[in-house]
Structures are given as structure tokens and as C-alpha cells.
Structure 1
């Protein structure tokens, strides 16, 4: 394998056959196969035997997109509305001036005390169990660090399907296996979570609100059902992504505490801008200690300057969370109503995206692009879920809603895209 003679997907000989060929004890081959499986080099599928795993993706799903020509309205990005983001220059300057009076040196607390107090009060208000805090470089950085703190290559992770494309890329890139779990407007379906955990998934990743791409938000009844499932599997590593904090108008119903090891991460990206690269993570003591310990051996800490800037943004009224949530809500609801008027069901309970199930997403994306609208193909977000398209409504103007809905209806009703090759 190290020489590259065995290509990804190549089946391996049965263990007894290989042992006979090499003249070694079958137990030796079994131990080697087990080690390769644990390291994520091979995968075993019951009676179908073992085979070399595909190489982890480095480019990921970002290539699954339609190029946006000049003059086409781009609703495919997933970005927040720049008009709803605060200007950062003055805030960063003020935070830097504050730091000049007390510079941060090596060996100091990696978490800004003012940020810790602010975040802990917010988490308490949302019913998140008490736990230590860590500051990481964005939500995905936090998810990666928690997975690495507990899992080994070859372990299975239950992920939302459809779900955030970066998460779907990250899990296999770490040598882990994805197990898809279906999602509806209220979050992951409990029966599918139960099935995934019973089949051996060691971790579950849940988006609490503003799920990308469907806009799902975990409701109170769904949270109770999911906590019940998790209590049946208390060894499960639970990771909650609450990136919608500050831009959604639905309450948080956390699952944290239903298992021994858990983490909840909140990013500043959607409310204050992706370039801040900052998220706060809490969890059980063992998980957070492992995350912070590994962080010390790499970047050390996330800039306390950025942490102070986030404190100023949150306490200085730079963003009105209710107004931002209402703006995104109006745009989502308007598009969903307009689509319903054409007989098309769409999903978008929270956040800045609308998910539209379609029979032929390639054809729908191509026809919409031809009509002047760029949307994201559902293949970027799916494993085994039915096809769909994601429309980012963060910058959608009121007068655009009707024409867009009409264009979506025409693209869907046209049927599968024909090939004339």
C-alpha cells in the first residue's frame, strides 16, 4: 500500500488466503488488517470483505458549484448580508488600544476574562450545562478539535444529511467514516439517529439552529426525543454547532449533558463577519481540557485582541440580533410563500438559506443559471438524501422574490435535463 500498488477501492484478499500466500499465521494477518482499519487505510463491509479506502478529500465539495457569469444574480454563496455586518476597523482599533495597556504574553489565560463572563451568562440563559470554555478559530476548527480529541481513524460519525458541506468533507479528511442521518424542519430524525448509534457510530454532530442547507432548528419536542436516544448510548460524543446564535429568532434547545462527553461551539461569523475567525466552545471538563491541551501545542491561543473585539461588538450594540433575525426571516418567508404559490414546497425555518427539493438538481441549477439566477446544487450537501437546491436569501431584495420563485417553478416543471450527446 505504501508503494501505491493498491489503488483506492481495490479489494484485499481474504485473511486466510493472504496468510497462506505469505506463509504466516492467520492471526498475524488479522492483526494487520485491524491496525489498517483503525488507521483508516482500509474499510470492511461484512461479507463483501475489505478494500482500500479512498484517499481523504483535500479539495472537498467546493468544486460542486456552478460558475457565476457576469450579470447573473448570485444566491449560491451561503454568506451573510454584508449590509447587516458591523464595520470592524474602529472596534479592532479600540481593542488594540486596550491591549496596549496590558499586552498579552506567553503563559497567560487563553480566554479573555470579559468574553468568558459574557458567554457563560448567555449559555446559562440558554440552558447549556456549566462547563469550561475554550476559544477556537471558527466553528469548524472547534468541531475538528473535538473529534480529534476522542476518535481514532476508522471510527464512524453520524452527520446530518443534507448537512454542511465542510462537515461532510472534514469527517473523511480525518480518516473517519460518515453515517448519514436524515433531517426535517425540526432537526435530525430520532429514529435515524438511533439506528446510526446502534450500528456503531461513536459521535453525532447536530446543528442546533439555522442548519445549512435546510434551515432546520431543533424544536423542544425534538430535543427531548434526541436526548432520550442519546441516553441509550451515553458513550456517544455529542457535538452541537450553534453558529446561528445572534442571527436567529428561534430559541436554543440544547442536547448537551445527555452524554458523558459533549461540546457546543458558537461562532461569531454569521453575526459579526467570517473574517473574525473566532468561536467559543464549551463542553465537559475532559473534552475541553483535551482541546486546550492540543491547542497549546499548535497555535497556542486565539488572539486576545480578537476576543476583546468580540466583547466590544456584543456589548456595544454594533448588531441588533432581533433586527438581523427579522430581516433574514422576512426574506426566507417571502420566498417560501412565493414558491408555495407555484405549488413548490420549500424549507427554511431559520437562518439565511432556503432548501428546495427538486427531481433533477442538475437540470434545475442549469436552467436557473440560464435564467439569470445562480443557486447551489444540493450535491454539495448530500450523501444519500434526495436531490435539492440551496438558495441563500441573505441579500434577496423584496422585488426579486416573485421573479425568482417563477424562475424556480419553470426550472422544476421543465423536467430532467436532456442530453443530446
Structure 2
């Protein structure tokens, strides 16, 4: 491979071009940082920056002592059902379809004249409801923006505030979509550990000391851990962030109306750039691509620039449908019931595991974060032999090695018999995985 360039961008483009031409194939080794810098006559930091750009774009991968190599085209982990699997999928992260309100009646009563170019991009009814929904956001002044889901909002918020290679603080372990958004945007992920009370104070302080320009956090039902910010932890995080008022703070309150925990915010009065996102996808269904973002006026203006009217506004028909549903008292009663159902089923399954010797603390959200006394990959392989498809904590890792001994299980749609069977099979799988590990040590 012939590499040229004197800046990080030029070097990265040269390597990318070689790979696209087929001069280098997946698995091929790249020169070491020292060798590349010496060959091109550049500073080592320039070579490091070039490799970092390519790593963040998923073009190359670092393997420690194995050096830097061209990455293969492996599929990235996604939420949802595994396509074509004959196994019972308990790693989906999906809401219960029987708990998603039927939109048929709301569709029948929807109406109104067509919306034309140049008109307001937010439906009036939905905007009024959204203002009330966001009334607990602790800010003196807020503006409402509608986007095509929470992931769309996060991507556009980062794009309007950051440039390539800027650092973003992410929870670790982290929601899959956030990891992909940061990586594909060319930003640098800085992990912040999460414990039972949410993002840790020391972790956030360390990330800010590393120069992060944005923080993406989950105030409730953090995915995958289920952790929710306590009042004490939120207060401590606000104090740390107060020293960095121009860092963009994004809260993804994805579980919102389903959550059984109070909302405590990271956003304090000193924060100048902030956004709170609440999507309807967990309680009205993933196909209902609407999210409400409340933000400071400047961030709202910048976000609006990323939502050019006439090309990418969220359909008013969809907005009206959402408003018709959320303004229906029976629908909202069903949403509240669904939230209780998820919490009860998760708690019941956690109790099953505790009764079998696996200690699990039920938290908030659609899934359970299950600690294991064996590597999660080995346990999930054993579960597959017993007919179950689980999700290993490795999928959610940025740097947290402890997550490799966790499973995220979505169990709220299992009846009691299936839940008992899964609990038994999980315990047996842990024992089998530990037995295999012991045999390898002896061998």
C-alpha cells in the first residue's frame, strides 16, 4: 500500500483510497504509527490522528499488539429481532406489541386541510401538548422541535454543534444507536461509567477534563443497565457541568411516560447549550417516528437549520396521529398500564433468578441487565443450545470490561411457564460455561 500526505486528513484519505481500490484487504496490516510517521516525515501525533479518523469511521481497527489492520465489513449490532432465527429471542429490546395502542380509531377521526410549503413545521395541537409534556424540564426558556425519532434528534444536535474528531461523552455501557451515531459522525467517544444511580460523577469529570464538547446521557431507564438518575446524583452532575456551561448536554429521556422513576435532570441553570429528547416510540411503537426536543433557543435555531422546511420536516399527518393518540384518555391509561406491566414482569423475573442464586437488581426499562459469574458470550452460546437467543453485554461496551459478564434480557412478554424455563436454562448455562472455563484452566 502506497500512503501519502502530510496532514492527518490527507493521510487518512490516502489510506481510504488504497482500501477502496483494493490495494489493501480486510485483515491486512498497516504500518505502525512510528513507521508511518518516519516514512512520511510527519509528527507521530499526525499519524495517530489519521488512524483515529479511520478507526472512528470503521475503516480500520486496532488490535493492541496486533497493530492496526483494515477492518472487515461485519454487520454492527442493532436493536430488534434477529432475522431468520429459530431460537426464542429474548434480546430484542422491543416493547410488547399487545401493549402498543391501536391507532385505527385515531386515524379515522384525523382530518384537516393539507399542509403546504412555508407553513409552520409543527402541528399546533402537538406543540401545545409537547410544551406541557416538557414542563418539568428545569429551564427558564425552552423551545420545541419535532424530529423523526430520538436517534434523528441526537444525530442532528451533534452535527450542528461539533466537527469531525470532536470528543463526545457517552455512558458506558451505552445504547447501541448512540455508539453508532458518534462513530459514524466521525466523533471521538469518551466513556463515562454508569452505576446504579446513573452516570458517575468522577467519570463525567474525567471526560470533561479530556475536552468533550458534548455529553449524551439518559436520565431514566438507561439502556442497557436500566439505571435512573437519583436526585443526589443529578445534583452532583449538575455541579460538575456548571463549570462547563458551553458543553452541549443532551438528555435522551426515551422511556418517559412508561418510566416508574422520577425525572431528575443533569441540566442546571448555568448550562447554556442543552436539549431534552422524548420519543413516542416506546409507548406508541417504534414505527411512530416522532420525537419532541426541548432546548435552549440558540440550540433550537441551529437544530431548525438541520431540518430544512420543504424537504425533511416530520409529516403533519404523523404529528396529528400522535396528538390524536396522546390526547385520548383511554390511550394514556393504557400507556400507564404498560409501564406498570414492564416493571412488574422484570421484577418477577429478577426474583426468579435470585431464587436460583443469581443476584439481579430490577431497574427501569424494557429489559433486565443480568450480572453473571461467567463470560456472557460463553453463557449466551449455552443458551442457544437450549433454544434461547440472548444479547451479550459486549455489544454495548465502549471500554467497560465488566459488561462482558452481563446479559441484557427482554422478558416482559414471557408467560410464567416460559419465564421459569428461561431462568432454569440460564442457571444451567452459567454452570456449563463455568465448567468449560475450569477445564481450559486445567488443560
TM-score by length of 1: 0.86
Identify if the C-alpha distance between structure 1 residues 55 and 347 changes in structure 2 by more than 3 Å, giving closer, same or farther. farther
Aligned residue among 136, 139, 148 for 2:159:
148
- Look up the match of 1:106: 117
**What whole-Å deviation, never above 9, does each CA across 1:216-236 have from its counterpart, x for those lacking one?**
111111111111111122232
Larger RCO of the pair (alpha carbons < 8 Å, separation 6+):
1
Cα deviation, 1:170-227, whole Å, max 9, x if unaligned, reads 1110001111111112111111111111122221110111211111111111111111
Instruction: State the match for 1:378 in structure 2.
Output: 393
Matches within 5 A, 1:96-175: 98-99=111-112, 102-125=113-136, 127=138, 129-175=140-186
Which moves more between the two structures, 115-124 or 340-349? 340-349
Structure 2 residue runs without a partner (length 5+): 1-13, 57-63
1:241 equivalent to 2:252? Answer yes
Cα distance in structure 1, aligned partners of 2:144 and 2:305: 12
Cα offset, 1:40, TM superposition: 3.3
Moved more, 128-137 or 190-199: 128-137
Q: Secondary structure at the match of 2:278?
A: strand
Q: CA shift at 1:156, angstroms?
A: 1.2
In the alignment, the residues of structure 2 paired with residue 412 and residue 9 of structure 1 have an alpha-carbon distance, to the nearest angstrom, of: 39
Q: Which residue of 1 aligns with 2:53?
A: 40
1:157-306 alignment, distance < 5 Å: 157-257=168-268, 258-296=270-308, 299-306=311-318
The 1:19/1:248 distance shift into structure 2, 3 A limit, reads closer
Structure 1 vs Structure 2 CA RMSD: 3.2
- CA distance in 1 between partners of 2:326 and 2:365 (Å): 19
1:311 aligns with 2:323: yes
Shift in Å, 1:279: 0.5
Alpha-carbon distance in 1 for matches of 2:230, 2:82: 34
Q: Structure 2: how far apart are the matches of 1:195 and 1:186?
A: 18
Q: Which runs of 4+ in 1 moved over 6 A?
A: 5-8, 51-58, 63-68
Task: Return the alpha-carbon distance in structure 2 between the equivalents of residues 150 and 126 of structure 1.
Answer: 21
Q: Which moved more, 1:238-247 or 1:315-324?
A: 315-324
Q: 1:64 to 1:414 in 2, by over 3 A?
A: farther
| Number of equivalent positions | 401
Give the match for residue 84 of structure 1.
99
Alpha-carbon distance in 1 for matches of 2:50, 2:246: 21
Q: Which residue of 1 aligns with 2:6?
A: none
Match of 2:76 in 1: 60
Q: Cα deviation per residue 1:353-409 (whole Å; 9 max; x = unaligned)?
A: 101122211111111122222211212111222111110123122333332222222
The equivalent of 1:343 in structure 2 is 357
Whole-angstrom distance in 2 between the partners of 1:379 and 1:66: 17
Alpha carbons 1:58, 1:173 under 8 Å: kept: no
8 Å CA contact 1:179–1:196 kept in 2: the answer is yes
For 1:267-293, what per-residue CA distance to the aligned partner results, in whole angstroms no more than 9, with x for missing partners? 110010111111011111121111111
TM (normalized to structure 2)?
Answer: 0.82
Shift of 1:250: 1.0
Structure 2 equivalent of residue 410 of structure 1: 428
| Distance 1:63-1:111 versus aligned 2 partners, 3 A rule | closer
